[in-house]
Structure 1
Amino acid sequence: MSRKAQAPPADDLPSLLWIFIPGAVLVAGYFARKWYLAHKLRTTGIGKGAPGFQTNVRRVRVTADVAARIQRGEQVSPDEIAASIARAQREDESAANSTSTSAKSPPTPPPEPENEWLPQNLSSGKKQPKRRKK
């Protein structure tokens, strides 16, 4: 009896497909997810948030006329916004100076009672032993 190299029987091939196809699907899914996450990071970037939403934007106080123009959707130049911010700060400073020059003394707050929100038996008294769980 001589041993010849024979091709595997045809019945073994479908069982091999049950092993290799799910593995190939998992590997393809891994690389597809990796590509998707890289694409999403490229388009939105770290810290950019949702599309159309800005983060790390400082809120500034502007005058009412500039705010109304922005709400109407008009184009407002950065120079106009900077001038509006400066004007609003000057108004705040002048309002603060006028109130500080008045002869009013600041009201003194009443002394806070100690442990006002706690009942007396909680703040002082003997400790109760821990209860057992049944």
Structure 2
Amino acid sequence: MAAKTSVDDYPSLLWVIIPPVVLLSAYFTRKWYLARKLRLHGIGRGAPGFQTNVRRIRVTPEIAARIRRGEEVSPDEIAAASAKAEADAKGGIDSSPITETRTTPATEPVNEWLPQSIITPKKRAKGKRK
């Protein structure tokens, strides 16, 4: 005689649904975390204080003091102070202007943080002699 199967003999619906849900949520959580990490730190932006495409410009001591205090200084003010400091330097006035760093837009991204071995193409190796 054939044994009758009842509903209790089947595996619980939780054993069928929970593992795929956990795996899918872990997959999407990891994907979100990696995208966020890349957006925040980017390539080469992981170190604190690390900046690319930075050049030093000469500004007046007043603007330098405002930047150190953390005040908001507009780009127009920085440009005017830079022009004034350059004119003072060329005119022979030595008010000991202080140099500050500022990011400047570059036409091509400079990968100065990459080692030369990665940037430069490799020479083709000669075949081994037998």
TM-based fold match above 0.5 = no
Work out which of the two has the higher radius of gyration on C-alpha atoms and give 1 or 2. Answer: 1
TM-score when scaled to structure 2?
0.42
**Between structures 1 and 2, the one with greater strand share:** 2
TM-score between the two structures when normalised by the length of structure 1: 0.41
